[in-house]
Amino acid sequence: MNSINKIKIAGKRLYDNFYNDRIRRNILGAIPYWVASLLVGLIAVYYGRAFSWAENLGMQLFTTHRYLIFIIPPIAFIIAWWLVKQFAPYARGSGNPQVIAAIELAKPHNEKKITKLLGLKIIIIKMLSSIVFIFGGGVIGREGPIIHIGSSVFRKVNEWLPDWWPKISKRYMIMTGAASGLAAAFNTPLGGIVFAMEELTKTHISNFRTSIFSALIIAGLTTQAFEGPFLYLGYPNVTHLSTFVFIPVIIVAILSGIGGSLLGYYVLKIMKWKEGFKHTYQTILYIIIGAFILGLLAYFIDIRVLNSGKSLMTNTLFSNDKHLPWYLPILRTVGIIICNPMGGAAGIMVNSLSAGSTVGAVVAGWMHLSAADTNVLILAGMAAFLTGISRTPFTCAILVLEMTDRHTLIFELLLAAMVANMAALAIDKHSFYDRVKDKLIDELEQEEKIEIKSSQQTT
């Protein structure tokens, strides 16, 4: 009997030690996620404020002194490009492809490559370049850069952990940083989770840990603590809809899906063309010409071609005059095609949303739809156009849903995103982000080969 009691006591001690050790490891494993997500939330708040201030200041100057449209943009665009080229070459573009590439390369032997894609320099230069870019009227956004910044923050926190700390998956940290950045930027935690699963990892929800979900919540709550429980786009009126509103939704989805895919196609074409530039002055000349074309479009046709397009979306959703001119979707798309390949930090997500919103407004004007039906088409166009770029229909539908808190439109938004995803296949079977990701990995591998060859010649 005593032997049995001793065995029970010993077993209980082993269990208690194991249980306590497991709790300790779980807590220690979650702390880096919590700290990093808090930092991402704070950065998202202050970076967002600086970005908006620069955007509003630039537009104020352009509206009061129209001639500055031909002076400020080329200077600002060149500075934005130079900052990236000089200090952090992989801070260029939106940042989503860099994150996807880093997740794919997240193995010990690729540490040097990942360092080029994510790091402190990326964080600083991404913010500086994009703020200068938007001040010049660049057709860019801050949401893609925040995703890139979020992954960089999480990776640095992971690197700073002492050797005795429980090992944490670098891949999960990078992925969670991107999702936290998206959640903080749009105030869309559910969108961040779906984005992580659909775009970044393509895995099932069962593979995610509690710490990852809590990180997204902390990033979102940090943003709300400073900005309040805001909606990215507010509460548009979508009551008393027509019975057959799904028909124009499908039309908008097809046009927007093809438009988004074409946007990515031509941006990639310009990127490939620019790879043939052998001298710096060629890039500078491209930037100057691009800025001049953008200035001409803004000065002589419509100044709404400039900037992120967020004000364009909100004004259209909440004004009485919702029907936009037919050429505005083309101008918005051309503006993105001009600015994104320039080499500065240039987010593409919110611009895609704004381009899609104009498609919806134009089609609604052609069909003489009511204000509520027009709002549905605007939101459907946003989800569809972004799907044409990213090929992540569920993420795009959920993002637009959370931005507006219009849960009654879940079926219309999912319909638009799914139709757009199929329509985009007519232009390219792969997403813009995947194409750029492949180019980045090829570039990193070429650089590695050159470095190895150079070290061999030196020895």
CA–CA separation, 249 vs 144, rounded Å?
27
Say whether pLDDT at 12 is over 80. Answer: no
Residue that wins the pLDDT comparison between 6 and 282:
282
Alpha carbon distances (Å) from 98 to 82, 152, 224, 443: 19, 10, 27, 12
List, for residues 398-408, the tens digit of each pLDDT value: 999 988 888 88
Given this model, what pLDDT does residue 214 score? 76
Residue of 418, 393, 357, 441 lying closest to 195 (CA atoms): 393
CA–CA separation, 195 vs 401, rounded Å?
14
User: Residues 414, 416, 421, CA angle at the centre, nearest 5°?
Assistant: 95
Given this model, what pLDDT does residue 201 score? 63
Say whether pLDDT at 120 is over 90. Answer: yes
The top-scoring range by mean pLDDT among 180-189, 262-271, 316-325 is 262-271
CA–CA separation, 126 vs 378, rounded Å?
30
CA–CA separation, 331 vs 300, rounded Å?
12
Given this model, what pLDDT does residue 431 score? 92
Q: Which of 340-354, 421-435, 441-455 has the lowest mean pLDDT?
A: 441-455
**DSSP letters for 11-66:** HHHHHHHHHHHHHHHHHHHHHHHHHHHHHHHHHHHHHHHHHHHHHHHHHHHHHHSG
Residue of 457, 450, 439, 383 lying closest to 416 (CA atoms): 383
When the pLDDT of each residue in the chain is averaged and rounded to a whole number, the result is: 88
Residue of 287, 270, 300 lying closest to 76 (CA atoms): 287
List, for residues 225-234, the tens digit of each pLDDT value: 777 766 788 8
Query: What length is written for the chain?
Result: 459
Asked if residues 295 and 69 have their Cβ atoms less than 8 Å apart, the reply is yes
pLDDT band at 204 (very low <50, low <70, confident <90, very high): very low
Query: Where does residue 31 rank: exposed (0-12), middle (13-18), buried (19+ CB within 10 A)?
Result: middle
Question: Within a 10 A sphere around the Cβ of 435, how many other Cβ atoms?
Answer: 17
What pTM, to 2 d.p., does this model score? 0.90
pLDDT band at 44 (very low <50, low <70, confident <90, very high): very high
Residue that wins the pLDDT comparison between 10 and 283:
283
Given this model, what pLDDT does residue 202 score? 56
Alpha-carbon Rg for the chain, nearest whole angstrom, is 24
**What are the tokens at 221?**
């709550």
Give all domains of the chain, ordered by start, each with its CATH number: 31-227 (1.10.3080.10), 246-441 (1.10.3080.10)
Say whether pLDDT at 395 is over 60. Answer: yes
Which residue has 């997204």 as its token pair?
Answer: 216
**What are the tokens at 414?**
């999912």
Residue of 256, 385, 378, 249 lying closest to 322 (CA atoms): 378
pLDDT band at 17 (very low <50, low <70, confident <90, very high): low
List, for residues 235-275, the tens digit of each pLDDT value: 888 888 888 999 999 999 999 999 999 999 999 999 999 99
pLDDT band at 196 (very low <50, low <70, confident <90, very high): confident
Say whether pLDDT at 387 is over 80. Answer: yes
Say whether pLDDT at 207 is over 60. Answer: no
CA–CA separation, 119 vs 80, rounded Å?
18
Residue of 434, 334, 426, 358 lying closest to 391 (CA atoms): 434
Given this model, what pLDDT does residue 209 score? 57
What are the phi and psi torsion angles at 187 (to 5°)? 55, 50
CA–CA separation, 417 vs 424, rounded Å?
10
